[in-house]
Structure 1
Amino acid sequence: MTANESFTSEPVGKSVPRIDAYEKVTGSAIYADDMQFGPGLWYGRLVRSPHAHALIKKIDVSQALAMPGVKAVVTGADTPKNFGLYLVDRPIFARDRVRFVGEPVAGVVAVSEEIAEEAAKLVQVEYEELEPVFDPVESAQPDAPLLHPDLGEYKVANFIFPQPGTNISEHFKLRRGDVEAAWPQCAAIVEGEFRLPQIQHVPIEPHVAVSLWDLSDQVTLWTCSQSPFAQRDLIAQSLGIPHGNLRVVSPYVGGGFGGKAGVSMEVCAVAMARAVKGHPVKLRMTREEEFIGTTVRQSLVARTKIGCDAEGNLLAMETAYYFGGGAYNDYGVNIARAAGYSCTGPYLIPNVKGDSYCVYTNLPVGSAMRGFGMPEIHWGIEQIMDQLAEKIGMDPAEFRRRNCVKTGETILTGMKMTPIDLVACIDKATAAIGWGKEAPPSAPHKKRGKGLAIMWKAPAMPPNPGSAAIVRFNEDATVNVSIGAQDLGQGAFTAMAQIAAQALGVPYEWVRISVPVDTKYSPYEWQTVASRITWSTGNAVRAAA
């Protein structure tokens, strides 16, 4: 601190320089791929399945092991346990069968990335191809090819309901009122089918993981992660590591959007490091591998029917969501669940029949992405609302004012709605865009339209997602704040510094955030997901201060 510095007091609500701005704009910020490990660093590459669905009959690694510079080859025989957050259905390396193109079958460790790449081509795998299924509706049928014969044996969270003997990994069912009795009372009914493909997160920074399993069985994983503590838990369970022996360090993350939550390729790096104890092993995804070998937003087929009376009051809704969860649904089951209990959107509908399915398909693994379960369903709901309003001759904004959920009303799950004012939001939005007034197009060959949509974002967290913080004063009155939350580019570190400064009554410029996030030293954080960090970790920081 110098006498010429300017200080920001009471920084909450003010625009302040970001904590990480200087490092990032100067290129000095350290990401996982930038970390240096010296000449002892070895490299890993994955052998991936060329088939969408096949039995593994035989794996021959002898030619790869004979190649100079190759140090180890790891297969499913070395990793007998599955991993998963809500449904433990995913092998580290495929064992008896492969379920999507790109699934890891083996991992090669070598002294250089180039040698590992060439050696991976020498791993011989004998497959027996099986019939694949790619569409979630087709996969949900009783006669579809069965992807997970052992579904009934998987460990599963007590709020997830798989259907063994089928490809349905989760069925969330919601019933309210009497839908069949309501349809004859409707003056207008609109039905639609809405399809959404899988979507890749495409972070600027591909997935990178470096793992060291030392000779005393202490294990460290350096990786770009939204959820270091969840990764520690899942990896420790799948590889039989005491939690106290596994340390996850996460430096800056170059974009996540949900794709770096939970576990994808990181566990492969740890398993490969176990095979060459004492040497760190680096595994990094190419851009092509990002698309097939990490996770994606799940696909969806939504079949929705909604009706209203002549005055514009919504009376009934029937919907079925088929989420294409990909080959493994360890995270995806919770997405289908969240969509199920949110299926009406922010509308009060007295009669509802909702079924939300997560379904295995022979496609890349579906997982979390930006408000999961919500954008996927609302774009269809909102189109139907516009069509209903048009059918009865009502302004779409007024239709939404009439039917949107209001404070104190009992919503579809039986919960009383907390204090909100969605009508005021609609009023402000329509006023801001000049709703009902024609706006001239920017060119003669163009048209200008105006639209309005509303949605809600339901929480999909377990009941115990904790956040913790430690606040320390230094000798010169500057402050160090330790948190387990991650900054993905959304400004979490800056927000925590603002909250700490406000709570302590010190200038914002005096606060430092202790990084990187390190499960050995940082306080616990469930995951940096669900738009929860400012509220959850922020309250922890305020309480610590």
Structure 2
Amino acid sequence: MKIVNTSVKKVDGMGVVTGNPAYTEDLILNNNVLTIKLLRSPHAFAKIKSIDVSIALKVPGVEAVYTHEDTPKTRFTLAGQSFPEPSPYDRRILDEYVRYVGDPVAIIAAEDERAAEKAMKLIKVQYEVLEPILDFEKAIDSHILVHPEEVHTNFEIGYERERNIAAKAYAEKPGVDDGFLQSDIILERTYYTQPQMHAMMETYRSYSYFDVNGRLTTISST
């Protein structure tokens, strides 16, 4: 009870506001690491018809280049709720479809950033550019299908792939009609809130290594 209803100083609070904590890059144990760069889509919605990484692989210092042809077809969700995750498993590490400008197309692993960026410019991608949905109010029952593939959910959440609905819920509170009958004025409007985004001091990044027992250890800014 010494803690309840008292102000507790956050252990790392002062360091966070002054920028002192160690960032992921500060925790790298040695310099024997590869740098990862992502080639990203310039299109809001497209299908990758072909991708050629042969020239990029010849760049000195480049260790590997991965595309949707190399990565597992297992789907997962980017949402971060605890298991069993309710969100649709609609994501692959790399997909033949890109669904927003900046969607990853290829992964380049190289000895340094310069080699990775040089290789990235040498990857040749042929896209079939598709019509995107740019207005969320027009997404439901659109002739444009965001996910033509089958998508898994762990349990029923109201997901309807054919209608571009990720999830839905319905709630009803009784007595509203009676309230309307007693009201002198009924005002119905649609409200839009401003978008919000977390403002972190460190960008998303990870560092991984194999320990002495061969176990993969990952340190992540997330």
Which TM-score applies when normalising by structure 2?
A: 0.83
Higher Rg of the two aligned structures: 1
Shift of 1:204: 1.6
1:163 aligns with 2:185: no
Determine if contact 1:162/1:170 at 8 Å carries over to the other structure: yes
Deviation of 1:74 after TM superposition, in Å, equals: 1.4
Is 1:73 aligned with 2:65? Answer: yes
Aligned to 2:151: 154
Gaps of 5+ in 2: 78-84
**Residue matched to 1:59:** 51
The separation in 1 between residues aligned to 2:195 and 2:139, in whole angstroms, is: 16
Aligned-partner Cα distance in 2 for 1:41–1:133: 40
SS at match of 1:55: strand
1:47 aligns with 2:39: yes
User: Which position in structure 1 is the counterpart of 2:88?
Assistant: 87
For residues 122 and 129 of structure 1, the distance between their equivalents in structure 2, rounded to whole angstroms, comes to: 20
Alpha carbons 1:138, 1:144 under 8 Å: kept:
no
From 158, 171, 174, the equivalent of 1:174 is 171
How do 1:18-417 residues align onto structure 2 when only pairs under 5 Å count?
Answer: 18-20=10-12, 29-77=21-69, 78-84=71-77, 85=85, 86-94=87-95, 96-140=96-140, 142-150=141-149, 153-177=150-174, 183-196=180-193, 198-212=195-209, 218-225=215-222
SS of structure 2 residue aligned to 1:107: strand
Mapped to 1, the partners of 2:4 and 2:177 lie a distance apart of 52
- Counterpart position of 2:81: none
Instruction: Say whether the 8 Å CA contact 2:28–2:207 is kept in structure 1.
Output: no
1:472-501 CA-to-partner distances (Å, cap 9, x unmatched) read: xxxxxxxxxxxxxxxxxxxxxxxxxxxxxx
Structure 1 residues 143-188: Cα deviation after superposition (integer angstroms, max 9, x where no partner): 33111122xx322132411113111111212234476676455321
* CA distance in structure 1 between the aligned counterparts of 2:190 and 2:18, rounded to whole angstroms: 49
Greater share of residues in strand: 1
Aligned-residue offset at 1:196: 3.5
Instruction: Give aligned-pair identity as a percent.
Output: 33
- CA change 1:27–1:33 in 2 (3 A) is same
- By how many angstroms is 1:138 displaced? 0.5
Task: List alignment gaps of at least 5 residues for structure 1.
Answer: 1-8, 226-545
Query: C-alpha offsets along residues 271-305 of structure 1, whole Å, 9 cap, x if unaligned?
Result: xxxxxxxxxxxxxxxxxxxxxxxxxxxxxxxxxxx
Q: Which has the higher helix share?
A: 1
Structure 1 residues 47 and 185, CA, compared in 2 at 3 Å: closer, same or farther?
same
Q: Confirm or deny: 8 A CA contact 1:49 1:104 kept in the other structure.
A: yes
State the AA in 1 paired with 2:123.
Answer: V
Give the root-mean-square deviation of aligned CA atoms: 2.8
**1:414-439: CA deviation from partner (whole Å, max 9, x where unpaired):** xxxxxxxxxxxxxxxxxxxxxxxxxx
Instruction: Write the distance in 2 (CA, Å) between the matches of 1:34 and 1:158.
Output: 41
Structure 1's 206 and 27: CA in aligned 2 closer, same or farther, altered over 3 A?
Answer: closer
Number of corresponding residues: 213
User: Equivalent residue for 2:82?
Assistant: none
Q: 1:55 to 1:181 in 2, by over 3 A?
A: farther
| Stretch moving more, 46-55 or 24-33 | 24-33
Higher RCO (CA 8 Å, separation ≥ 6 residues): 2
Aligned pair in 2 of structure 1 residues 49, 66: CA closer, same or farther (>3 Å)?
same
TM-score, with normalisation over the residues of structure 1? Answer: 0.36
Aligned 8 A contact 2:208 2:218 in 1? yes
